[in-house]
Structure 1
Amino acid sequence: MGLEVLLKGNNFIRLLLGLSVALKISLVSVVISIVLGVVLGILMALKNPVITVVSRVYLEIVRIMPQMVLLFIVYFGSTKALLINLSAEAASIIVFSFWGTAEMADLVRGALGSIPVIQYESSMSLGLDKFQTYRYVIVPQIIRRMIPLSINLITRMIKTTSLVMMIGIVEVLKVGQQIIEANRKSSPNAAFGIFLVIFLMYFLACWPISMLSRYLEKKWEN
């Protein structure tokens, strides 16, 4: 199976370091996406004509354009067109934040739109002002509806970071390819074992997050 290659030198440590690079990019992108996505989602819920048109164009770009193309545009295009010395890691964070913000904003907009109007009216009739209505009535419901979906976005972002190897970032998949190439003659079947271990690494990184999402969904359904 080629698993013996992992015992040579520090190959396994290199894979773990590569995975840490992917997780770091994912974590930073997720934090930025949540902050910007919540703000944009609230603005979208206001149904301002200008904001609606701009946000719709933004969402369509994110949905239609593959992440790999966006990576190439930001990393290679910005350096030549804007003369910006952008690192591959920074370009990756920009692209994943750009994608994640759109996804998060759509979740926030959908969550706000799903709250019945009668809840706003009932809160006002009880003497709550607009701020108190959102703080005590609307926001707690939105959080309960959004968290499971947001967690699913995190797992998708972790898996999609494998694309960053295309712009030269040495993450776990790139490290695996380097190990396979270095041992091609001595261990021609190493590819299967290496990619199996990489699969298990991604699984172990995403599975607890996925289980947390299912647990919260079941808990809050009752």
Structure 2
Amino acid sequence: MLFDGHNFLRLLQGLWVTLSIALSAMAISVVLGTLLGIVMTSRNRAVQLLTRLYLEFVRIMPQLVLLFVVYFSLSTSAGINLGGRTAAAIVFVIWGTAEMGDLVRGAIGSIPRHQRDSALALGLTSSQAMRRVILPQTMRRLLPLAMNLTARMVMTTSLVVLIGVVEVLKTGQQIIDANRFTHPDAALWVYGAIFALYFLACWPLSLLSRHLEKKWKN
């Protein structure tokens, strides 16, 4: 049944929708999260409070609720007509930026203080020290963590089916419904195939993350 007609091709197309949402959101989150992480290292109490509130808000608020707020509430209250994929990308950027910002903050904080002090003693400004000394070391520590976050984002995109996005899970449901009478066990095979596709999409990221972690630790 999986290979009848274009069923498996449709699942692959649905997986591409899933990956395109997750990877585009992650690309934006890396840029915004890096900037946020640098800001979060500020000693200004007001800045620390605002960034902490943003981080805690995103962590406490379930992604599904954020999806509903952005997709339904913005459309009705603000008169903004958002497509499902656009709404999903916005929500995952909000979430990814917060998570990435906290990872960057932690990675910067793990760099020994004397690295910055030595850079300043050599005549570099604070921004030059951050750009040329701190951030290169931070990115090396950050890459495995960013890959894990990417895998989490790919898996979490399954929620977008609830706002009508036709990704891999929605496609699977459509195939099951279309073959309900001719293949009563369709759900087992379709969801099994979806599990395998998610696994194949995320497993290489996990392997590469562990490889880089071990390599750079040594």
Q: TM-score, normalised by structure 2?
A: 0.96
Q: Distance in 1 between matches of 2:181 and 2:3?
A: 16
Where in structure 2 are the equivalents of 1:28-107 lying within 5 Å? 28-107=24-103
Identity of aligned residues (%): 57
TM-aligned CA deviation for residue 145 of structure 1: 1.0
Task: Quote the residue 2:19 is aligned against.
Answer: 23
Contiguous gaps of at least 5 residues in structure 2: none
| Residue identity in the other structure for 2:38 | I
| Residue identity in the other structure for 1:172 | V
Matched residue SS, 1:6: coil
TM-aligned CA deviation for residue 134 of structure 1: 2.6
Task: Quote the residue 1:159 is aligned against.
Answer: 155
| Residue identity in the other structure for 1:87 | G
Task: Quote the residue 1:149 is aligned against.
Answer: 145
Q: Distance in 1 between matches of 2:40 and 2:55?
A: 11
Deviations 1:68-90 (A, max 9, x none): 11100000000001010111111
Matched residue SS, 2:165: coil
Deviations 1:143-178 (A, max 9, x none): 111110011000000000010000000000011111
Q: How many residues align?
A: 218
Select which of 3, 8, 29 maps to 2:4: 8
Larger deviation: 149-158 or 138-147? 138-147
Matched residue SS, 2:2: helix
Larger deviation: 111-120 or 198-207? 111-120
TM-aligned CA deviation for residue 48 of structure 1: 1.7
Q: Which runs of 4+ in 1 moved over 6 A?
A: none
| Greater RCO, CA 8 A, separation 6+ | 1
| Residue identity in the other structure for 1:146 | L
| Residue identity in the other structure for 1:181 | D
Deviations 1:155-208 (A, max 9, x none): 000000010000000000011111111111111011111111101101111111
1:140 and 2:142 correspond: no
Contiguous gaps of at least 5 residues in structure 1: none
- Cα RMSD between the aligned structures? 1.2
Deviations 1:96-150 (A, max 9, x none): 0000000000011111112222222222233444344234421221011111001
| Residue identity in the other structure for 1:67 | Q
